[in-house]
Structure 1
């Protein structure tokens, strides 16, 4: 029996996408309708105002809603505002937090959502999952897929390079996540969707092939990274969970958030976790082959580059398996203090420090 998979009806990735909005089907959706625009207060608010100026003369009503953070309190407040005068469409503008919050509010209030990412710092730009904070703990919850995703490459090209690097860190985790998913399948812990796995793998392979091209420029890299992160989101929709893109490396990142203060971007922490995951998965050669890419992409190769101490990283690895009920490579080992110390020595040698700072946070 065929499975119904939800994906965005419209996907637009091009330069000048905001100004070209009247030429798209999306414009027909908002024409004559009530629209709520959700974003932060900083630079994303300016982008939101640009979007509003393009649609202002054609919508029945538009109002701005401020997303301060991705806490449950903020989500509840925004939901109350939405339900007081329910819009026909929610437009979420910003990075991971604003997009996730828009998806949650849209799902809870049964209002379709259009996303305008201003950065690709994670796969939140198009996924059936949102990360919110409850009691200071990052929690992933299921949400409806956005009805459309519109990426203006001119906007992305001006975002801080560190954010793009973080998004690529999230993308690279597909490899270790898929290994963990297969491991759980072989251990008869859960079923695996081969099609979702194929799409998640192709997403990261597509980006790596572009990265390896000698003549690739930053603009092309941003475009392909955006497409690959969207493919990852669709893979999760097919799977019905975040399994194709989230494994032991994400559990380590969640543990850093919950037990160690969450000092860095999600994708940066995931990238650090990927190195541990690949080592435990018996792919030490792949750890070594990844390091030049990390340096090129501005990704950290040592936890201290993100502000974490050895004790904190030790705690994150030890607590990672408890972060959610998900079988991964971490369940295959007895994570004693001695073994974790061995992992830290092997995966994060002294010479791995400061590579991140030496090259800065640049991409391309």
Structure 2
């Protein structure tokens, strides 16, 4: 049976106090890896001498896998790049992996996907996860906020996947996986829109865990990556990523949920505004015309995945009109198409 959830999950303030117990329940001879900055300092404060990783590349993953030849587990302490390298190297070495995020910038903390050299690779879900909210609260606010944006965009992606199934354009739909993805996002929206609030941070971590589990259950990223991720990929391709990943997907979701007439759109946007996420293209330095280029380019980034963009297929002046409506007159109301 495919694992969709870590066997051990510790989330809370002071969770690092249980790190050694959890790590040694997974393996007796772990290899610790970290980033070169804060995560390395955390390791050293715990008496751990980690192997330092500063890039999410195949070369880095190969180096970690080679260093783990005499070990029986890999423990990744750090941000998204470190955790991705940890997951990929563990997959190559055939070892269990423990994820210890120091920032909540995306759902990679426990997902079955590792981004290496800019490409997504299927990997195993971490065997365990330790998320100390005290450490997370000290991470750069913008990065945690981007993680919230990545989670909120599941409101769009889960809708896309369900709609593709209804139209007979997706035969692999899993209702439970779609519900898990959406539920994590809606649970976050129900909290105080302030990442200094402990309940909000906990909801963010748990929502990102649910997002990863939904992907593992589905066997693909479909529950958490739809039309809004296609637009974000197009932003990367055309404008070299004007924002952080979660900022881009959240902004794109403002538009895609408009096309979807998504019933959760108003509460999503209200939460985004209070949290400080971008809600219009200008917030990421894009004009309406440039955003339109991204929307037009988006279908080609994942041509095998049917979304609202393929159903509506807006182009030309109609596309510009829809963008203007979505980000001005339709900012808090949907539209039936």
TM > 0.5 fold call: yes
SS at match of 1:164: helix
Q: Extract unaligned runs of 5+ from structure 1.
A: 57-62, 353-364
RMSD of aligned alpha carbons: 2.5
Matched, 1:71 2:57: yes
Deviation at 1:142, TM superposition (A): 1.0
- The equivalent residue for 1:298 is 276
Pairing 1:28–2:14 present: no
Tell me what 1:166 maps to: 146
Change (3 A) 1:290 1:87: same
Question: SS where residue 16 of structure 2 aligns?
Answer: coil
Does structure 2 retain, via aligned residues, the 8 Å contact 1:128–1:236? yes
Encode CA deviations 1:104-150: one digit per residue, 9 max, x unaligned: 111122121101001111111111112233xxxx4322110001000
Question: Residue 38 of structure 1 aligns with which residue?
Answer: 33
Alignment of 1:186-205 (within 5 A): 186-190=166-170, 191-205=172-186
| Corresponding residue number in structure 2 for 1:360 | none
TM-score normalized with structure 1 length: 0.83
How far 1:241 sits from its partner (Å)? 1.1
Q: Distance in 2 between matches of 1:291 and 1:217?
A: 19
Change in 2 beyond 3 A, CA 1:259/1:201: same
CA displacement at 1:326 relative to structure 2: 0.7
Q: 2:186 is paired with a residue of what secondary structure?
A: helix
1:276-322 Cα deviation digits (max 9, x unpaired): 11111124x75444332112111111222223344432221111111
Count the aligned residue pairs: 329
CA drift of 1:228 comes to 1.4
**Alignment counterpart, residue 119 of structure 2, candidates 139, 144, 156:** 139
Aligned to 2:334: none
CA distance in 2, matches of 1:149, 1:5: 13
Give the Cα–Cα distance (whole angstroms) in 2 for the partners of residues 37 and 312 of structure 1.
Answer: 43
Residues 10 and 26 of structure 1 are in contact (CA less than 8 Å); yes or no, is this contact kept in structure 2?
Answer: no
Which residue in 2 is equivalent to 1:263? 242
Give the Cα separation in 1 of the matches to 2:38 and 2:284.
24
**1:217-251 Cα deviation digits (max 9, x unpaired):** 61121112111111111111111111111110011
Residue 128 of structure 1 is matched in structure 2 by 112
Q: Give ranges in structure 2 of 5+ residues lacking alignment.
A: 332-337
Answer yes or no: is the 8 Å Cα contact 2:13–2:132 preserved in 1.
yes
Q: Which residue of 1 aligns with 2:91?
A: 107
Q: Which residue of 1 aligns with 2:189?
A: 208
